[in-house]
Amino acid sequence: MDMIALGTLLVRVIAGLTLAAHGYYKFFRGGRIAGTARWFEGLGMRPGRLHAVSAAGAEIGAGLLLAVGLLTPLAAAGFVGLMLVAAWTVHRANGFFSANNGWEYNLILAATAVGIATIGPGQWSLDHAIGLRLGGGWGLLISVAGGLAGGSAMLAGFYRPPVPHEATEAPR
C-alpha cells in the first residue's frame, strides 16, 4: 500500500467533506438560507440571500471537488477565497485563536487545501485518473492567486461593514 497516496487521500477527503458539510448546514440545517442570509446581512455581506446561497454552494462544490481530487487547484482556490471572506468578515476582530472565535480555523482549512494543490491530489484522485497534473508551482499559484483574487473581489464588491450603533446616534 502506498502510504503517501493514503495520507493524501485521507487529508483531502476530510478537509473536503468538512467544507461541504459546512455548506450543507447553511442550506438544510440551523437557520437555513433565510437565517444565513440575515446573518450575512448583519455582517455586512449584501445582499445577504445572494451571499448565503453562493457561499453554501461554493462550500459544497469546492469541498466535494477537493474530496474526490478533481480540478484540485481550483477547488483549493475556492477554499482560500471562502476562508478569506469568512476570516475578514467574522473572525478578524477576534484575533488568531479559534477559542476566541478567531481566524485560526479558516487558516488551517485554506492552508490544507493549498498544500494538497501544491503536492497534488495523489494517485487515488480523479485528477490522476484523467491525467490532469496541476500540482507543484501551478497548483500553488492557481490556488493562492485565484483564491485571494476571488475572495478580495467579493469583499471589495459586496462587503459593507455595519456602522456601529454609537456612530448613528446624535451627539449629546
Q: Quote the pLDDT of residue 165.
A: 65
Q: Which three three-digit cell numbers place residue 94?
A: 477576534
Confidence of residue 107 (pLDDT cuts 50, 70, 90): very high
List, for residues 111-125, the tens digit of each pLDDT value. Answer: 999 999 999 999 999
Residues 6+ away with beta carbon under 8 Å from 113: 15, 62, 66, 75, 76, 78, 79, 80, 143
Number of neighbours of residue 47 by Cβ within 10 angstroms: 11
**CA–CA distance, 159 with 43 (Å, rounded to integer):** 8
Confidence of residue 85 (pLDDT cuts 50, 70, 90): very high
Confidence of residue 30 (pLDDT cuts 50, 70, 90): confident
CA–CA distance from 24 to each of 5, 43, 69 (Å)?
28, 20, 19
Per DSSP, what are the bridge partners of residue 45?
159
Is the pLDDT assigned to residue 168 strictly greater than 60? no
Per DSSP, what are the bridge partners of residue 114?
none
Is the pLDDT assigned to residue 82 strictly greater than 80? yes
The stretch 126-151 carries a mean pLDDT of 96
Q: Quote the pLDDT of residue 169.
A: 53
